[in-house]
Amino acid sequence: MFDFDMLGLSPTLNAALDRAGLTQPTPIQNQAIPLALEGHDIMGLAQTGTGKTLAFGLPLVEHLLAQPAKPAPKTAKALILAPTRELVNQIADNLRGLTDGTKLRVVTVVGGQSIGRQIAQLSRGTDILVATPGRLIDLMDRRAVDLGQVRHLVLDEADQMLDLGFIHALRKIAPRLGSPRQTMLFSATMPKQMEELSGAYLTNPRKVQVAPPGKAADKVTQSVHFLDKAAKPTRLREILSADTDALTLVFSRTKHGAEKLMKGLVADGFNAASIHGNKSQGQRDRAIKAFREGEITVLVATDVAARGIDIPGVAYVVNYDLPEVPDNYVHRIGRTARAGREGEAIAFCAPEETDLLAAIEKLMKIEIPTGSGTRPQMAQGKSSAGRPGRRRRGGNSGGAASAPAAPAKRQRSRRRRAA
């Protein structure tokens, strides 16, 4: 394990790390950064919340600082592709923290915002372009961006890009990029297609892995509650009422369901907002900002937000609907227990969702502890239950069907169509 000041980074980068209070790397950073600084292609596999952005961002900025020439109009020196608008904005914010005090420009292009304004920004050229694949293709078709000068490519959350069908966009983008180039691919899971993607776009990559696919963050306490679908609204309100000050992220499977759930919570006096694919980018940005700052304490979201929210203060994640893609459960609960904190993940399982639960437990190789209700036989796994222990906000760990006692208050500390 190294300290950041041992890497021989430029003074401006060291100053940025000091401002952020960063001295020692996370495990994925410890493995990836030295290799990336040497110029190797990287295949990074790590669960969410482990610091992947800095793992590629720090060496990327260091490389660009060694290339002081101003980018030509419409060009970019580095391209970072991410699957959602929220993740693009999060990455760009982190990179701007690293580039503060330098002449490096960071530009974002995402859907849901003025394409005319983005064309104007790109007309000046940029050092780092962070983009969603769909909007980037639109700009390429309009000849508003020339990717021939790109010498650094990062694919972040590549497995979700595959899941959302962006592989076709990637096949259009990749031939337009400059060469030779360094490519870094980061993912939370390793589906078969990921190996094919690595073979197609990476050259002799160094593989770094800090957690097996399907493993939740160590400090997440999980529970599942077995109940009828009609009982979910009441159970959610009981959970939220037990700790009204805590930041709680609630996941719904569909856009319509998320909006309906949020409006019902607001009508009942809860401080809630929602983000999903039917919201404008401005609405989504404002909701996330208010959630981060504690102005709202309940954020109802679809999987569009599963990897785009990096808010260390999220204390609870509630899976109101279980995801149809098992990997998404891991991404969802990765929104809590970030930056070394503890967190709690509570799942609701209606009778019609038991197959979804079985798939999640098979992926994670655990049986999620029962918070309340009776576990159906078909959803039982063969592996031992997860960590036993402390009282959870979601209830007891037994199988009684009665509602669990309220715990002591804790300190605040589908794919495309469903998004």
- Clarify whether residues 27 and 160 are in a common domain: yes
- Clarify whether residues 271 and 157 are in a common domain: no
The C-alpha atoms of residue 215 and residue 261 are separated, in whole angstroms, by 29
- Clarify whether residues 114 and 17 are in a common domain: yes
Q: Which residue has the higher pLDDT, 186 or 383?
A: 186
Residue 85, amino acid: R
What is the three-state SS of 284-320?
A: HHHHHHHHHCCCCCEEEECHHHCCCCCCCCEEEEEEC
Q: Is the pTM of this model over 0.75?
A: no
Q: Is residue 390 part of a domain?
A: yes
Domain of 76, CATH number, reads: 3.40.50.300
Q: Which residue has the higher pLDDT, 331 or 398?
A: 331
With a cut of 60, say whether residue 404 has pLDDT above it: no
- Summarize the confidence of residues 129-146 as an average pLDDT: 96
- Clarify whether residues 281 and 199 are in a common domain: no
88 Cβ partners below 8 Å, 6+ apart? 80, 82, 108, 109, 110, 130, 131, 132
User: What pLDDT is recorded for position 393?
Assistant: 56
Nearest to 337 by CA among 302, 361, 310, 297: 310
Over the chain, what is the mean pLDDT?
85
Contact 51, 94 (CB under 8 A): no
- Summarize the confidence of residues 244-272 as an average pLDDT: 95
The C-alpha atoms of residue 273 and residue 251 are separated, in whole angstroms, by 12
- Clarify whether residues 151 and 284 are in a common domain: no
With a cut of 80, say whether residue 172 has pLDDT above it: yes
- Summarize the confidence of residues 338-358 as an average pLDDT: 88
- What pLDDT band is residue 81 in, cutting at 50, 70 and 90? very high
Q: Maximum CA pair distance of the chain?
A: 67
Examine residue 180 and say whether the peptide bond preceding it is cis (omega within 30 degrees of 0).
yes
- Burial (CB count within 10 angstroms: exposed 0-12, middle 13-18, buried 19+), residue 66: exposed
- What pLDDT band is residue 416 in, cutting at 50, 70 and 90? very low
Structure tokens at 195: 């190996």
- Clarify whether residues 141 and 75 are in a common domain: yes
User: What pLDDT is recorded for position 148?
Assistant: 97
User: What pLDDT is recorded for position 414?
Assistant: 34
What's the domain count of the chain? 2
Q: Which domain holds residue 35?
A: 4-209
Select the highest-mean-pLDDT range: 185-189, 248-252, 288-292, 375-379: 248-252
User: What pLDDT is recorded for position 129?
Assistant: 98
The C-alpha atoms of residue 133 and residue 402 are separated, in whole angstroms, by 48
